Structure 1
Amino acid sequence: MRKNIRNRFIAAGGVAALLALGAVSPALAGTAPSGTTQTGARPVAAVSSAAAGDPRNTTDRVGDFYGAYIDAVWDTEAAGAGAQKKALRGFYLSVAAQKKVAAYEAREHADGILFAQNVPVKWSVAYTGSGAGHSTALVTLTWNDGKGADTSTIKVESDLATRKIIDLAPAE
């Protein structure tokens, strides 16, 4: 009888392991369950998808910056959101880029990182090239959900040596 109970526990453990492996396998393969996005935002009712990055990669750093910055702007009611935005700018942007952003904000009365007065609901970053010690990426901001969602694009240039954002401007 004791041997039978032990075999049942072993069998139950094996079944549990197979079920867990079946649930984890799509994430390990890089596929996301339906209803998720790979762009930096997820629908409210969706299952989260996996994210990855490399701190040496300037495009990944631009994505990290925009993701964290949009979170800080989105959560305006959160304690420290304003300080978080300032800290992110100081960490990811060169001094010259910070000055350019401040000048834009004074002139246009809009956020100089998003080039808007409101907050996007999604973002994505795409590498577009590099040369002369710089890397360029395009950040696409999505402003609403649904078909025909409004988007805007920002050209972001990073220094390959410092990995800091050295220039950003609306793409044409």
Structure 2
Amino acid sequence: MRKTIRTRFLAAGGVAAVLTLAAVTPALAGPADTGKRGVAAAPTAQGDPRSTTDRVAHFYGAYIDAVWDNEDAGSAAQTKALRGFYLSAAAQKKVAAFEAREHADGILFAQNVPVKWAVTYTGSGAGHSTALVTLTWNDGKNPDTTKIKVQSDLTTRKITDLAPVG
């Protein structure tokens, strides 16, 4: 009898844990995108390592994550490694010069960290691709945004230039 009660108790606890996890996990993943019929669509992220626009998006996503988690001991090393991997040597020098002159982050062109980012392909030619990075700094009806023009080399896929827009 004791074994049956204990088994039922453990099974009930396991079911409760699974149901709690199932209820909490979508909330932790972020807001749902509702479709035309009000049904929440599953969040999707994808990319192509051959696409310079995707690489810019991957860089900004990883970079913002690392800067956002600045209390993590590995954050500074991560941002340095990301810059080394995704930026050309010339772009790294330009970023460093901006940071020395402006005392602000030369990737975000700011002293704080955005809450959202988006990357849009804007064209290509002469061996380069351009993308527009939109950084969103706060939530609400009228969030503050800034834009950065990012140029990438089509052969190396490295970011070769970054410049604030406007």
What's the secondary structure of 1:127's corresponding residue?
strand
1:113 pairs, out of 100, 103, 107, with 107
Following the alignment from structure 2 to structure 1, what is the Cα–Cα distance between the partners of residues 110 and 41?
A: 29
Does the CA contact (< 8 Å) of 1:35 and 1:47 recur in 2?
no
Residue 78 of structure 1, CA deviation: 1.0
1:86 aligns with 2:103: no
Does the CA contact (< 8 Å) of 1:154 and 1:171 recur in 2?
yes
Does the CA contact (< 8 Å) of 1:73 and 1:81 recur in 2?
yes
Counterpart in the other structure of 1:53? 47
Following the alignment from structure 1 to structure 2, what is the Cα–Cα distance between the partners of residues 53 and 153?
A: 21
What's the secondary structure of 2:141's corresponding residue?
coil
1:36 aligns with 2:32: yes
The total of aligned residue pairs comes to 131
Residue 142 of structure 1, CA deviation: 0.1
- Please report the TM-score for the alignment, with normalisation by the length of structure 1: 0.73
Amino acid aligned to 1:53:
G
What's the secondary structure of 1:107's corresponding residue?
helix
Alignment of 1:1-172 (within 5 A): 35-36=31-32, 49-172=43-166
Unpaired runs of 5+ residues, structure 1, are: 1-33, 38-45
**Following TM superposition, where does structure 1 have runs of at least 4 consecutive aligned residues deviating by more than 2 angstroms?**
34-37
Following the alignment from structure 1 to structure 2, what is the Cα–Cα distance between the partners of residues 36 and 55?
A: 27
What's the secondary structure of 2:117's corresponding residue?
strand
Given the superposition, is the C-alpha separation of residues 58 and 148 from structure 1 closer, same or farther in structure 2, using an over 3 Å criterion?
Answer: same
**% identical aligned pairs:** 77
Unpaired runs of 5+ residues, structure 2, are: 1-29, 34-39
Can you list the C-alpha shifts for 1:28-50, whole angstroms capped at 9, x where unaligned?
A: xxxxxx9336xxxxxxxx99711
What's the secondary structure of 1:79's corresponding residue?
coil
Following the alignment from structure 2 to structure 1, what is the Cα–Cα distance between the partners of residues 42 and 144?
A: 23
Counterpart in the other structure of 2:3? none
What's the secondary structure of 2:148's corresponding residue?
strand
